[in-house]
Amino acid sequence: HYDILLSMKKINILFITSNRLGDAVISTCLLNHLQKQYPESRITVACGPLAAGLFASASNVIDVFELKKEPYAGHWRKLFRYAMYQKWDIIVDLRNSFISRLLIAKQKYIWAKKDNSLHKVEQLAELMKLDKIPDLKLEFSKEITGEAKSIITNKDKVIGVGPAANWAGKTWDNQNFIDLLQRLTKKDGIFEDYKIAVFAAPGEEDQAYPVLNAFPKTRQIDFIGKTSPELASACVKRCKYYIGNDSGLMHSAAAVNTPAIGLFGPSYPHNYRPWGKTATYISTPETLDELISFDGYDHRTVGSLMGSLTVDMVYNAIDKHVDSL
């Protein structure tokens, strides 16, 4: 009965989510639920600067507080000073921070260790005791949507590619990406003559440019170190297909319902595979634990750990996935 009453009034919600892009995108499943459950709500999102733009245009979001990390938890103290004089009906804290303990709210959902056998989306649904697992959801402003349309037009047939990741161990060799894309886009290939849009963040140029430059200029779309996460996500939405390592943009592709395949090696796909009706994944035959069990392993210096994932394996998985769509 209390939930019904809340849904009928303008309630204030504080939604504290991740600094990391992938986790922030995954958390949009709960934001989507809150938007539907409380259509008159006023939501404040607190997240890291990288993810802030992804929430700026979301329905019911009236403010985005950027948690710019500062010494001695200064960013958390700033959030507390910002939030302490406001009346909160619901606080959702996916960072398990002390802030949510100090603030007053009628309902609180604070992240705690969950069943690690479940996907992160399922764990989030369990946190709020939801009977139905909500979909991921990204929304874009008219300006971002318009810019994406000007780059990838309605006439363009484009494959989006994410050949980088936040850790070298999770990156499939860029020559593998080249061989795969050449096979996919050749005459009579699955994506014959498609343009290639390569996405990468600043600092990932060495992994991304060899892939882009393997194709004629007329078929290149360069998103390497040039776009915000929200524009990159809006452009991925306009792609016909997306192929990428386990990364935040992979989750964005799933959230905007672009058919996508995530490439997994030294990570846990049962927790972080792309979540959505049009998404799938393929992983190395070895688990993370098996991949890092060798003498001299050092996560700081190790190269790619995805050598056992072959081009044939990925091509066949894409072929099967496209047939199923």
19-56 pLDDT, tens per residue?
999 999 999 999 999 999 999 999 999 999 999 999 99
As a whole number, mean pLDDT of residues 200-221 equals 96
Predicted local confidence at residue 10, as pLDDT: 82
In whole angstroms, what is the distance from residue 44 CA to residue 17 CA?
11
In whole angstroms, what is the distance from residue 47 CA to residue 19 CA?
6
Residue 279 three-state SS: strand
- Percent share of the chain, pLDDT over 90: 95
As a whole number, mean pLDDT of residues 143-155 equals 97
As a whole number, mean pLDDT of residues 83-106 equals 95
As a whole number, mean pLDDT of residues 227-232 equals 96
DSSP code at position 111: -
Confidence of residue 113 (pLDDT cuts 50, 70, 90): confident
As a whole number, mean pLDDT of residues 56-68 equals 96
Mean of all residue pLDDT scores within the chain: 95
Q: What is the C-alpha end-to-end distance of the chain, expressed in Å?
A: 41
As a whole number, mean pLDDT of residues 234-260 equals 98
As a whole number, mean pLDDT of residues 280-300 equals 95
Q: Are 111 and 96 in contact (CB under 8 A)?
A: yes
As a whole number, mean pLDDT of residues 144-152 equals 97
- Percent share of the chain, pLDDT over 70: 97
Confidence of residue 299 (pLDDT cuts 50, 70, 90): very high
Predicted local confidence at residue 1, as pLDDT: 47
Q: Are 42 and 6 in contact (CB under 8 A)?
A: no
Phi, psi of 297 (to 5 degrees): -60, 130
Residue 271 three-state SS: helix
- pTM, entire model: 0.94
| Token pair belonging to 325 | 């769509």
Tokens 């915000």 appear where?
228
As a whole number, mean pLDDT of residues 241-268 equals 97
